[in-house]
Amino acid sequence: MERTCLAIILAAGESTRMKSATSKVLHPVAGRPMISHVVDALASASISDVALVVGRDADAVSAAATTDEVAVTSFLQKERLGTAHAVLAAREAIAGGYDDVLVVFGDTPLITAAPLKAARDGLAAGNDVVVIGFQTADPTGYGRLIVKDGALVAIREHRDASAEELSITYCNGGLMAIDGRKALDLLDRIGNANAKGEYYLTDLVEIVRSLGGRAIAVEAPEEELTGCNTRAELAYIERLWQQRRRHELMLSGVSMIAPETVFLSWDTALAQDVLLEPNIVFGPGVRVESGAVIHAFSHLEGAHVRAGATVGPFARLRPGADLGAKSKVGNFCEVKNAEIGAGAKVNHLTYIGDAFVGAGSNIGAGTITCNYDGVNKHVTHIGANAFVGSNSSLVAPVSIGDGALVASGSVVTEDVPADAVAFGRARQEVKPGRAPILRERYEAEKAARKRARSAE
CA 49 – CA 43 distance, rounded (Å): 9
Minimal distance in Å, beta carbon 9 to ligand UD1? Answer: 8
171 binds ligand UD1 (CB under 6 A): yes
Q: Which of 34, 169, 94 is nearest to 103 (CA)?
A: 94
Helix/strand/coil for 316: strand
Helix/strand/coil for 172: strand
Q: Which of 31, 34, 32 is nearest to 10 (CA)?
A: 34
Number of H helices, E strands in the chain: 10, 36
106 binds ligand UD1 (CB under 6 A): yes
Distance of CA 442 to the CA centre of its chain: 59
Residue 348 known to be catalytic: yes
Q: How many residues bind ligand UD1 (CB under 6 A)?
A: 29
Q: Which is nearer to Ca ion, 23 or 392 (CB)?
A: 23
CA 15 – CA 151 distance, rounded (Å): 34
User: Which of ligand UD1, Ca ion, none binds 155 (CB below 5-8 Å, type-dependent)?
Assistant: ligand UD1
Selected from 28, 82, 227, 283, the binder of Ca ion by CB under 5 A is 227
- What is the footprint of ligand UD1 within residues 214-233 (CB under 6 A)? 227, 229
173 binds Ca ion (CB under 5 A): no
User: Which of Ca ion, ligand UD1, none binds 10 (CB below 5-8 Å, type-dependent)?
Assistant: ligand UD1
User: Which of Ca ion, ligand UD1, none binds 85 (CB below 5-8 Å, type-dependent)?
Assistant: ligand UD1
User: Which of Ca ion, ligand UD1, none binds 175 (CB below 5-8 Å, type-dependent)?
Assistant: none
- Applying CB under 6 A, which part among 36-44, 200-208, 248-256, 402-410 lies near ligand UD1? 200-208
28 binds Ca ion (CB under 5 A): no
Selected from 43, 60, 63, 81, the binder of ligand UD1 by CB under 6 A is 81
- Applying CB under 6 A, which part among 78-86, 161-169, 237-245, 361-369 lies near ligand UD1? 78-86
- Applying CB under 6 A, which part among 116-124, 195-203, 205-213, 343-351 lies near ligand UD1? 195-203
User: Which of Ca ion, ligand UD1, none binds 404 (CB below 5-8 Å, type-dependent)?
Assistant: none
83 binds ligand UD1 (CB under 6 A): yes
Q: Which of 64, 134, 109 is nearest to 244 (CA)?
A: 109
86 binds ligand UD1 (CB under 6 A): yes
CA atoms within 13 A on the CB side of 439: 4
Q: Which is nearer to Ca ion, 174 or 383 (CB)?
A: 174
- Given its phi and psi angles, is residue 394 left (phi above 0), alpha (psi -120 to 50 degrees) or beta? beta
- Helix 34-44 × helix 113-124 angle, to 10°: 50
Amino acid at site 283: G
115 binds ligand UD1 (CB under 6 A): no
Under 8 Å between Cβ of 129 and 174: no
Minimal distance in Å, beta carbon 87 to ligand UD1? Answer: 9
202 binds ligand UD1 (CB under 6 A): yes
Q: Where are the alpha helices (DSSP H) in 50-168?
A: 58-65, 83-88, 91-95, 113-124, 163-166
Q: Which is nearer to ligand UD1, 107 or 222 (CB)?
A: 107
11 binds ligand UD1 (CB under 6 A): yes
In the set 158, 348, 378, 381, the catalytic residue is 348
174 binds ligand UD1 (CB under 6 A): yes
424 binds Ca ion (CB under 5 A): no
327, β-bridge pairs: none
- Applying CB under 5 A, which part among 56-64, 76-84, 104-112, 151-159 lies near Ca ion? 104-112
CA dist list (Å): 366 to 313, 333, 334, 393, 420: 16, 9, 11, 9, 21
Burial 122-159 (b: 16+ CB within 10 A, else e): bbeeebbbbbbbbeeeebeebbbbbbeeeebebbbbee
Minimal distance in Å, beta carbon 266 to Ca ion? Answer: 21
Cβ atoms within 10 A of the Cβ of 419, count? 13
Residues of this chain that bind ligand UD1 (CB under 6 A)? 10-13, 53, 77, 80-83, 85-86, 105-108, 142-143, 155, 157, 171-174, 200-202, 227, 229
Active-site amino acid positions: 348
Residues of this chain that bind Ca ion (CB under 5 A)? 107, 227, 229
